[in-house]
Structure formats: structure tokens, C-alpha cells
Structure 1
Amino acid sequence: MSKAFASQGDLTEKTITFDEVGRDLWAFTAEGDPNSGVIIGDESVMVVEAQATPRLAEKVIERVRSVTDKPISHLVLTHYHAVRVLGASAYGADSIIMSETARAMVAERGQEDWDSEFARFPRLFEGHESIPGLTWPTTTFNDRMSVYLGKRRVDIMHLGRAHTAGDAVVYVPDENVMFTGDIVEDRSACYCGDGHFHDWPATLDRIRRFDLDAIAPGRGGALVGREAVERALVSTEDFVRSTYRPAARVALRGGTLKEAWDAVRAECDPKFSDYAIYEHCLPFNVARAYDEARDIDTPRIWTAERDKEMWEALQG
């Protein structure tokens, strides 16, 4: 293979930042690695996204303890991907929350996704031997639910399909701040291998209607201020549309997956090639866009074997 598979060649430790994005609201970010969020209530703390292993989760907990000694009572997982959920046991949370659809995806493809992502992201699975097994929620919801951390209300909502079918966002109305998971990225490629290209822009529009003061995205830096929020919403939508359109044009005229790959590269390389995990995501994104254009609505399950076959065919 001409390029190291997925992120196997990315072994450089990333610099962690911990930024306050609203009163007692924090974004844990690390140069394009998966982000986590922290919401401090009157008596306890909610964490958004667990990280890939309990050992990596301890880095989030260390930052939580730098700003509060309140117990972590709730953990929200915005979707089912292994790099987001498998560190959950470290938090000792009373409640682990996912959308009902996300839970179904754990049941359907959770183990395959774990095996797949373990091969793709070796650095993110530091301490993988401490993972006790698949992460299951204790609480699920369909459209929305509210959690009260004392007087602080937190709204957890499914606004539409995007990065996966079961994406959740976490909204804190008293500060007008949202934790979006991987629906929104900042200077990081969107991973679209389990995505829904047709739905994603409309889901971004529903986020836009909140007129947010800050967003903690799935990857990339904290977005504080409406200008930064809008920039990330626009660039995320541009990435999604720029990936889908050329692949769909090829698919709809009966062209090959490799032709779709070439067309997407021609469109996206000039704009996004310096984004985090761009080369990693590209084969999976093109494959999914090609499928969706041919009316395959449900993303096919990625396995470690299928990952490498796709990488050989397109990045090899």
C-alpha cells in the first residue's frame, strides 16, 4: 500500500486543550482527535463522549478534576462508534445515555466497529486491555429528553441523521451552547462511512436555527462566538456536499467506484487535504457516497477485513 493504512502511521501524541465554552461548560480537544465535553451542574457533572479506552478517559477525568470536585453522574454518548464509547467504564456514571437508534447500532454492529476502529486508530486505543466490553446505555430516548443537574437543564436531542443514523446533540439552554458530536467538525474531515449524505445538510440547518453562542464539535477546536459557529457549519456542509456530489454523478452514470474516487479527490483535495484525518476518511467516505447514490440507504457494516479491501482498492 502506498499509504499507511488509515491512521496507523499517526503515532504522534496530540496536545490537549481544555477550553471553557460557557459558564461551567468545557471542551476537551486534542488537535483533531475525538473531543469530549463537560457540563457542570449544581451537584454533579455530565460528560459528553467517553473516549476509546478507560485509560484515555482518565485524561478527561483529570481535566474535570482541575475545575470541579463534583461527582460525574451522567455520561452521554452521541453515537455508537468505538472511539467515542469504549472508555465509558472509567467514569463510574450512574446514567449512560444514547439514542435508541444508537443502542440498536451497538447491538447490530458494535463488535465489528470495535475491531475495525482498533485496526484503524492504534494510538487512540492506548490501554485497550482495560476495556471491559461493549458499552451499553442505561437510558435511551427517541426524539429528545431533558436531564436536570440540579437547576441546570440539559436537553439531549436527535435532530436528524448525519454522521450516523442515531446522532444526538447535547444543548445547554442557559448558556446557548451545544455539544454536537461528529455532526459538526472544525478543520477535520467528516467521517462519512456510516453517514447519510442526503440528510446531513438539513440536520446542520436544524443546529443553525438555535443561533448558538458556542459549539463543542466532534473534532477540532472549540467554537466560541457566532462567527466561529457559522464558519464550522458552513465548512462541514461544504465537506459533505463536496464529497457526495462528484461520487453521485459517477455512480448515476454507471461509473466505477475508482472513478468516483478520482472525482471526489479532484473536488476535495484543493479544499480539505490539510484537514485532520482527511486521507484516513476518504476511502470510506467515497464508498458510502457511491452506495447512497445507488439508493443503498443503510450504510453497510464496516469490518476489519472490508476496511483493508477498500483501502487497497482506493488508497493502495
Structure 2
Amino acid sequence: MGTAFASQGDLSEKKITFEEIGAGLYAFTAEGDPNSGVIIGDDSVMVVEAQATPRLAQKVIDCVRSVTDKPISHVVLTHYHAVRVLGASAFGAGQVIMSEAARNMVAERGQEDWDSEFQRFPRLFQGHESIPGLTWPTTTFNGRMTVWLGKRRVDICQLGRAHTAGDAVIHVPDANVMFTGDIVEAHSACYCGDGHFNDWGATLEAIRAYDLDAIAPGRGDAVVGRAAVNAALDRTKDFVASTYRPVARIAARGGSLREAWAAVRAECDPKFKDYAIYEHCLPFNVARAYDEARGISHPRIWTAARDLEMWAALQG
């Protein structure tokens, strides 16, 4: 482990895949970089997740244009993180949709999150100079809302806290396909730095109850087939539990953050070390788990300065 965040040294370009996972439904994936989704309706298109910059969003737009010339009318953002939302302006959509809780988090910590993420993972902010500012939704909801793309129904739902307090999923009933955001990952580490460990498992089970035919996860390849979907849910659940469990033991006896870090490595490295962005996520996951285990229910705001303080504590 070097002295810098693992993500700061991740400079290689990732191969983009644009895969149809249901009729008129596509997963834009890039080897562990943030995914986007595309839902083609009768007259227009909905995009799920906007990427970190307008330049990176253009890669999604180019893929959309390879399969349809219908206008992009809606952008849905599953949560507030900078790498998901700051490219929204590129799509020219009439509606930008977030949960009310996610919007509140933009107001509370959006700028701090942007500064923090940019420091941690500069490659994901190609063309950052074109970002016009924080992304604000035009439409918010609590619990559930439905958008009709002509005759195609799209349900946007909050199923529980997990990756953040404002997580939403997007379900297309006619194909029984779901875009899960970072609640579910496929052979990629979960980022838990703003998460809710004790709620995450129940939220995964709420997704499982849909008995889905396919999912587009937040990172990693699209998951097609019910057996594969259940396996991805199981692996995500195991990742979250395997991170929290050793930290809770350390915190219960008054141990240090650095002890918690060592305990998580001992449990998680053998199972997950080859997952995408594992080393990037691990310090933030341990820090958030340590807070939650000590009763801090509302995740503390990550800032560029706090990132470095936490990293220094772990390095000793």
C-alpha cells in the first residue's frame, strides 16, 4: 500500500460495454467505473446516472445514438455522489429526477463531496472544467414515483437505505429489469463511506423480492438471469456484512480505527481483494463502519481535508 489513495494511481482507460439487458434497455459499463443505464420508451429516452462530467456523459450519449434517435427526456440519479451526477447538463433532459432525500444531501454536502471525490479519483473527472456546478433535480419524490415513456412504465422507488440515505432504484416492469445504482455491485467493491450498514441487507432483500430477470448494478458487468441476479445480491450482502462485522467487534471493546482496518483486511482480503476499486473503497468503508458501530447514525461529511486525516490515521 502506497502513501497515496489507490484511486489516485488508477490512470488506465477502461473498456466500455453497451449491452442490451431487456427490450430497449441497456447497461453502459466500463470495467468497474460508474455505470449508466438507458431506457428507450415510445417517444423518448430515460438515462439512469449522469457520469461525473459532461465529457464523460457524452460517451453515454454516443451509445444512445448508436441505437436510437429519440430525444433524451429524463435523467434519473439514484443518489447524490459527484461521479454520478455532475455530467447531467450534457443530456439536455427536461426532467432530472432524484429522491427528496438525495436532493437534501446535495444541499448538505454536495460541494464537499465533489471536492473530496475529485481529490481521490481524478481520472473519473475528465473534462471537469466543463461542469457548470452542482446538479440539482427538477423533480423529487418520496417513496415512489412512476414515469410513463409513452406506454412504457418506469417505477422509481426508494426501497431502503444502503449506499446512501437517499438511494433509489429504477424498475421497468414490462421487462422485469432493475437499475440498482450502487446498492448492488458486480465483482466490484461496494463504496460504503456514506452508507448504512445495518440497513443495507434488508434493502438488498427488498430488491430480491422482485425476482428480477436482470439488473444493471452501480459498477461491474450487467447481471442477466435470475440465478445470476441472486448471486450478485448474495455477494454484495456478504461484502457489506464482512466489512461491518469485524469493525463492530473492535469498536465494542474500544479499539482504534487502525485496529479495525487490520481486522477488515483479514476478513475481506481473501474474498474480495480482486474486486474493482477494492483498495480505493476500503479505508472509507472502515471509517464509516467504525462510526456506525459507535452510534454515529448520520454519516459524517467527507471533505478533502478529512480524507487525508483519515488516511494518515490508517497509515500510522
Same fold (TM over 0.5): yes
CA distance in 2, matches of 1:63, 1:315: 42
Question: C-alpha displacement at 1:21, in angstroms?
Answer: 0.5
Question: C-alpha displacement at 1:6, in angstroms?
Answer: 3.9
The TM-score with structure 1 as length reference comes to: 0.99
Question: C-alpha displacement at 1:312, in angstroms?
Answer: 2.1
Question: C-alpha displacement at 1:315, in angstroms?
Answer: 4.6
Question: C-alpha displacement at 1:2, in angstroms?
Answer: 2.2
CA distance in 1, matches of 2:4, 2:306: 16
| CA distances 1:135-154 after superposition (whole Å, capped 9, x unpaired) | 00000000000000000000
Structural mapping, 1:112-191, within 5 Å: 112-191=112-191
Q: 1:40 is matched with which residue?
A: 40
Q: 2:275 is matched with which residue?
A: 275
Secondary structure in 2 matching 1:198? helix
Contact residue 37 and residue 49 of structure 1 kept, 8 A? yes
Q: Which residue identity is paired with 1:184? A: V
Q: 1:23 is matched with which residue?
A: 23
Return closer, same or farther for 1:164/1:251 CA change in 2, 3 Å cut-off.
same
Q: How many residues align?
A: 316
Structure 1: where are the runs of 5+ without partners? none
The TM-score with structure 2 as length reference comes to: 0.99
Deviates more, 1:224-233 or 1:72-81: 224-233
- The percent identity for this pair of structures is 81
CA distance in 1, matches of 2:287, 2:117: 17
CA distance in 2, matches of 1:304, 1:173: 41
CA distance in 1, matches of 2:194, 2:252: 20
Match status 1:84 vs 2:84: yes
Structural mapping, 1:1-316, within 5 Å: 2-315=2-315
Secondary structure in 2 matching 1:199? helix
Return closer, same or farther for 1:5/1:142 CA change in 2, 3 Å cut-off.
same
Question: C-alpha displacement at 1:253, in angstroms?
Answer: 1.0
Moved over 3 A (4+): none
Question: C-alpha displacement at 1:231, in angstroms?
Answer: 1.0
Contact residue 283 and residue 315 of structure 1 kept, 8 A? no
Q: Which residue identity is paired with 1:136? A: W
> What's the Cα RMSD here?
0.9
CA distance in 1, matches of 2:227, 2:123: 33
Question: C-alpha displacement at 1:3, in angstroms?
Answer: 4.2
Secondary structure in 1 matching 2:197? coil
